[in-house]
Structure 1
Amino acid sequence: MGLTVTFLMLKMNGSLQMESALLYAFLDVSSDCKFKQQLPSLQSHVIMSRQMYCEDDFELQTDGNRSGHLQSNEGVYEPPVNEDVVRIIAAQLAEIGDQFDKEIQGQVVSDLARHFLNENLSREEIILHMSNTVKKLVQAIPSDMEQEKAMLVLAMVLTKKIVNTTPSLLQRVFSTAVNYINQQFHNHIAEMLGE
């Protein structure tokens, strides 16, 4: 299945579409991503967790334009992200991620993976652990880039590394990482993508 189809399936209601598209593209273009063949399985997860965009759900305005405002259970419809821009940004972040990847110790990944494996922890608790891990790593890894961008890349690299070690966690780690990235970096991503 081509990336274009994937992006069409990731175009969903709610404010997570940018984060989902960016993380998906990051994983798709990353080196040493051992689960690329499993990435298409994320499509059904994303589709089930968000009401899909439907052309008929828009209101037609008196000037003939569609309103672009669609209420769903998740909030207000956001226009689809630009696939080409997402791919370019994801490739740039993946290059940075390759540099960070070497600096992240296996024990850090194992500890975080254990939290994802713990069925008793809520998504919020796991996000807190992920956030703490990213904050510790950003201080431990020297970088001359802005802290917010470094933290975003670290979160995406951790996502890849956790799933590389425990592929069965793909759905849970992706979903949690998208929520964490949305909570922490939504405005930064919107700026990068020119939204």
Structure 2
Amino acid sequence: MDSQVSNGSGLDTEHITNLLVFGFLQNSKYHFHRELEVLGQELPVPVYLDADEDELQTDGSRASRSYHGRIQPDSESQEDVIQRIAHHLAQVGDELNHSIQPTLVRQLAAQFMNVSLSEEDRRNCLAKALDEVKTAFPRDMENEKAMLIMTLLLAKSVASHEPSLLRDVFRTTVNFINQNLFTSVRNLLRNGMD
């Protein structure tokens, strides 16, 4: 899918997916704080990083927000919606985390460590791993939304297992979502959060 395709509100596909994946990773329980901070500084999109990443306010908001990257003034409200959706998906993902087998995570991490694999090969590895966890999809959830959450959860699990893979896992996940699941992302944006 062309990364310049807009969803009609000013943000292109890649920008939206970068924000969603980064927001999911940031809002999940994870063990790659430093790597995520570095990734946030490298992304050409605004991301929200906390001074103290573990400190949430009682209303669920972050203690403080700092922006890295550029901000498009006319899209700030959509970026907030994306952050809210990412937070919601991370909460659901944390509840489903037990359904990802450690063996599958180790295998996927080993595949991502193989420097001879192309980006397409990595996406295929991610797709194969996703097929293996389909039986764990919540039955009461739309299939595409479940696939999106499990894709994000696989990315988080691999990065937690091997933090040095965060950048590669992030890029592959964004590309995979843009090619296979962006309709689901667009539907979540249209509905605000479901």
Give the TM-score range, shorter chain: 0.7 to 0.9
DSSP 3-state at the match of 2:181: helix
Q: Using the alignment, how far apart are the partners of 1:28 and 1:162 within structure 2?
A: 14
Q: Which moved more, 1:88-97 or 1:149-158?
A: 88-97
User: Is the counterpart of residue 40 in structure 1 residue 37 in structure 2?
Assistant: yes
Q: Equivalent residues in 2 for 1:17-166 (5 A)?
A: 17-31=15-29, 33-47=30-44, 82-166=78-162
Q: Using the alignment, how far apart are the partners of 1:34 and 1:143 within structure 2?
A: 29
Q: How far did 1:163 drift? A: 0.7
Deviation string, structure 1 residues 7-46 (Cα, Å, up to 9, x no partner): xxxxx98521111100111111112x11133212113543
Count residues with an aligned counterpart.
158
User: Is the counterpart of residue 193 in structure 1 residue 192 in structure 2?
Assistant: no
Q: Using the alignment, how far apart are the partners of 1:13 and 1:142 within structure 2?
A: 30
- Amino acid paired to 2:26: D
Q: Kindly name which structure, 1 or 2, has the bigger radius of gyration based on alpha carbons.
A: 1
TM value normalised by structure 2: 0.72
Partner of 1:15: 13
> Is the alpha carbon distance of 1:143 and 1:95 closer, same or farther for their aligned partners in structure 2, counting shifts above 3 Å?
farther
Q: Using the alignment, how far apart are the partners of 1:157 and 1:83 within structure 2?
A: 21
Q: How far did 1:80 drift? A: 6.7
Gaps of 5+ in 2: 1-9, 46-68
Gaps of 5+ in 1: 1-11, 56-67, 69-78
Deviation string, structure 1 residues 67-106 (Cα, Å, up to 9, x no partner): x9xxxxxxxxxx6771221121112111210121011110
Q: Using the alignment, how far apart are the partners of 1:128 and 1:141 within structure 2?
A: 19
Q: Which moved more, 1:133-142 or 1:175-184?
A: 133-142
- RMSD after superposition: 2.6
Q: Using the alignment, how far apart are the partners of 2:170 and 2:145 within structure 1?
A: 19
| Percent identity for Structure 1 against Structure 2 | 32
